[in-house]
Each structure stands twice: as C-alpha cells, then as structure tokens.
Amino acid sequence: MTSDTRTDSLLRVKNLSVSFSSDEGELEALDAVDFDIKHGQTLGLVGESGCGKSVTALSVMRLLPRPIGKINGGSIYFEGKDLLKLTSDEMRQVRGNEIGMIFQEPMNALNPVMSIGDQVCESFQLHQDISPQEAWQKSIEMLEQVGIPAPENRVFEFPHQLSGGMRQRIVIAIALACKPKLVIADEPTTALDVTVQSQILDLLQSLREKIDSSVLLITHDLGVIAETCDEVCVMYAGRIVERASTRDLFANPRHAYTRGLLSSIPRLDGDPKTKLAAIEGMVPSISELSRGCRFAARSGSHHSREVLEERPPYIEISPNHWVEACPVCTDP
C-alpha cells in the first residue's frame, strides 16, 4: 500500500487485529483493520452492532478490557509514535490530553457522585500544570463553550440533575477540555432525540473547527455520516469492506454490503408503504466467521469455495476508493 509514505496522517491504524478470549476459544473481533485520519479530517466508521466499531475505538485508546481483549498484530501510529509501544504512564498522558473520547451513553460516562465542575476540572488538573482555582475557572469557560446556560451555577450540580442532551454536552466538554488533536466520538448521539442530535452534531462540528482537531466518528446512522464526515469506512464482521470519500461512497458504493445498507434506510422522499430493501439474514456470530468473504451468506449470490476460504484482497478500485474485492460482492 502506498499510503505508508503519507506524512499528513494524524492517526494511522495498520493491520490491526484484536481478539477476545472466551469459553469458545479466541474470538476474532478485528481482522487486519487498516485506515488513517488526516489532520483536520472527520472520518466516519459505520456498521451494524457487533461489527467491531467500538473495539476499534477502544484499541486506539488502549482501553480494551483486560485480560480478555488482546491486540494480536498491527500498529497504531499517532503523530508518528506507535501507541502500542507506549508504557501505561505515557499512554495516560495521551488519553484525554492528545486524544479525547466521547462515549455513547452520557449517564454511564459521567460519575454520578461527583459534581460536574469537578469532573471537567479533573482533565485540566491531570494534564496541565495549573492551580485548582485556574482549573475551576477554565472548567466554567469550557461549559460555556459547549452551550451550558449559567455555567457558574451548573458546576455545582450533579449528572442526574441534567437532561440527556445537557449530559452529552458535559461529556464533550470533558473530552475537549485539553484541546486534543484527535477526538473519538463513539455513537455520540445514538441515545438522544433527533432535535437534540442536531444540536450536538452542530456543536461538535463548530468546536472541531475552533480547536482544529480531527474526529473519528463512530455511528450506525448513515444520515449522520452524510452530514458530518469527509471520509467513511464501512465495517462488517471485524473488517473494513469499503472506504471512500463520503460523496463517492454514497454515489458509487462498490461493495454489496454498502449497497444493502444504503438501500435499506427508509427515506423521506421514498414511496410510502412499499417493500423496503432489506439485507436478508443477520450479522454472522463472532464465533463462526469464515476466512473468506464474510458477507457471502447474506449476499444472496453463490460464492465459490475458494472465495469462502481465502480473504479477498483490499484494493484501491479507483483513486482513494478502497474496497474488499470479493469477486461476487464487489462491483468491478
């Protein structure tokens, strides 16, 4: 792959393989996942539940549950340094400081018995050499930036006193407090209503521009991808099956799975009450993954034995448009 020589990548994930140990043996969660994020770019990672989106995010943060989650191969370069080779102390300096993370369910990401001010303060005090008073002052400013009304009073409140949207704003404030170069947002709006979702996506976008960071946005909603991302990776059963610029992917999907996903969304301008295109069957269980094309069983077309046994190559089918080139599922 030529992309190794790219110098403009902020994050470069190379052939990352992750497995979890269970009673059924080693289960493969990620199979040679490969992507990069350029400076100032928003990359979307889309796929159905269980396809490995969150595992990818947790691997980058090195937060995989230990000891069951294991990184078996590959590397994660962040600004040229391999995150997998850092010591725990060094990694702690990266987390929250250089890479911020926004979690899906704000109620679970916040500490219920700590005041909001203290929680935002924590990131300043851990990563910056400032006095507690200054940190407190900065927390109030940060809350103001994420659109919390009357932040000087809110800092004393606790997460349960806030609505879902407000809580997610606090999580964003914590993640962006130290102006990280990369923000990983794992389903940041899935638990929220549409009206609040558009508030939060807008906020993320404007803050991203302000502190000039890159974003890895994980979602299952292609509508959110279309509105916020520059580039998209489509994941299926632990692999990236297609990657392209957002416009290119929506206009010209090459893999059968991407096409299936795109056509199964009910659209506002679609014909009402007609049969929706659906992908038959379901995501294969992590314990029964094949080596070859993993979409075979749901594609509705016959796959020969060789295709099922050998992993299709990941090729650049047109400039900057990568796809897992299964002879059956991929449009040449």
Contacting residues toward another protein, per CB under 8 A: 48-49, 163-166, 193-199, 201-202, 220-227, 246-247, 250-251, 260-262, 264-268, 270, 272-273, 275-280, 282-283
Q: Tell me the backbone φ, ψ of residue 66, rounded to 5 degrees.
A: -105, 145
In whole angstroms, how close is the CB of 61 to another protein at the nearest point? Answer: 24
Encoded tokens for 306 = 């060789």
Encoded tokens for 222 = 């292609």
In whole angstroms, how close is the CB of 131 to another protein at the nearest point? Answer: 34
Q: CB nearer to another protein: give 132 or 300.
A: 300
Residues comprising the chain, all counted? 332
Q: Tell me the backbone φ, ψ of residue 12, rounded to 5 degrees.
A: -130, 110
Q: CB nearer to another protein: give 211 or 283.
A: 283
Contacts 24+ apart (CB under 8 A), 49-55: 49/220, 49/283, 50/283, 50/286, 51/235, 51/236, 51/237, 51/238, 51/283, 52/18, 52/235, 52/237, 52/238, 52/239, 53/186, 53/218, 53/220, 53/235, 54/186, 54/187, 54/218, 55/18, 55/29, 55/30
Q: CB nearer to another protein: give 178 or 233.
A: 233
- DSSP state, 1? -
Q: CB nearer to another protein: give 113 or 194.
A: 194
Contact 45, 235 (CB under 8 A): yes
Query: What count of other Cβ atoms lies within 10 Å of the Cβ of residue 307?
Result: 18
In whole angstroms, how close is the CB of 106 to another protein at the nearest point? Answer: 13
C-alpha 291/C-alpha 165 separation (Å) is: 42
Q: CB nearer to another protein: give 183 or 203.
A: 203
In whole angstroms, how close is the CB of 195 to another protein at the nearest point? Answer: 5
In whole angstroms, how close is the CB of 252 to another protein at the nearest point? Answer: 12
Contact 170, 121 (CB under 8 A): no
Q: CB nearer to another protein: give 193 or 331.
A: 193
In whole angstroms, how close is the CB of 283 to another protein at the nearest point? Answer: 8
Q: CB nearer to another protein: give 168 or 213.
A: 168
C-alpha 75/C-alpha 17 separation (Å) is: 9
In whole angstroms, how close is the CB of 231 to another protein at the nearest point? Answer: 11
